[in-house]
Structure 1
Amino acid sequence: MTDRTGGDYRLDEIDRRIVYALMGDARNTSAPAIAEEVSVSPATIRNRIAKLEEHGVIEGYHATVDFERAEGSLMNLFLCHAPFDEVEGLARRVGTVPGVVNVRELMGGRMNLHVLAVGTDTSDLRRIGRELEKMNVEIEDEFLLQNEHTFPYAPYGPADGHRREPLTDYISLTGGAEVVEVTVHEDAPIAGRTLEEADADGVLDEHTLVIAIERDDDVITPHGDTEIRPYDVVTVFSPTDADEPALRGFRGPDGDVGSTRVH
Structure 2
Amino acid sequence: MKDGELDSIDERILFELQREGRATITELAETVPVSGNTVRNRILAMEEADIIRGYTIEVDYVGAGFPFHYQFTCTVPIADRRRLVEEAFEVDGVLDVRELMTGQQNVVIEVVGATQDDITEIAQTLDDLGLDVVDETLIKSAETRPLTLWANDDDPDESEREDPSS
**TM-score w.r.t. length of structure 1:** 0.56
**Do the aligned partners of residues 72 and 134 (structure 1) sit closer, same or farther apart at CA in structure 2, a change above 3 Å counting?**
closer
Q: Does 1:23 align with 2:15?
A: no
- Ranges of 4+ aligned residues in structure 1 off by more than 4 Å: none
CA distance in 1, matches of 2:60, 2:32: 33
Q: Secondary structure at the match of 1:50?
A: helix
CA distance in 2, matches of 1:72, 1:60: 24
Mapping for residues 14-93 of structure 1, pairs under 5 Å? 14-27=9-22, 29-93=23-87
Alignment-derived partner of residue 105 in structure 1: 99
TM-superposition CA deviations, 1:69-105 (whole Å, max 9, x none): 1215311110111111221111110000011111111
Instruction: State the structure with bigger RCO (CA 8 A, min sep 6), 1 or 2.
Output: 2
Structure 1 residue 125: Cα displacement:
0.3
Q: Does 1:163 align with 2:158?
A: no
Mapping for residues 111-190 of structure 1, pairs under 5 Å? 111-159=105-153, 163=155
Structure 1 residue 36: Cα displacement:
2.1
Identical-pair percentage:
33
Matched residue type, 2:117: S
Q: Secondary structure at the match of 1:79?
A: strand
CA distance in 2, matches of 1:100, 1:131: 11
Q: 5+ residue gaps in structure 2?
A: 157-166
CA distance in 1, matches of 2:152, 2:127: 45
**TM-score w.r.t. length of structure 2:** 0.87
Superposed CA RMSD in Å reads 1.5
Q: Secondary structure at the match of 2:63?
A: helix
CA distance in 1, matches of 2:20, 2:32: 17
The answer to whether the Cα contact below 8 Å between 2:46 and 2:52 also exists between their aligned partners in 1 is yes
> Which of these two proteins has the greater Rg computed from alpha carbons?
1
The answer to whether the Cα contact below 8 Å between 2:73 and 2:107 also exists between their aligned partners in 1 is yes
Alignment-derived partner of residue 9 in structure 1: 4
Q: 5+ residue gaps in structure 1?
A: 1-7, 165-263
Instruction: Compare the two structures and name the one with the higher strand fraction.
Output: 1
CA distance in 1, matches of 2:122, 2:99: 18
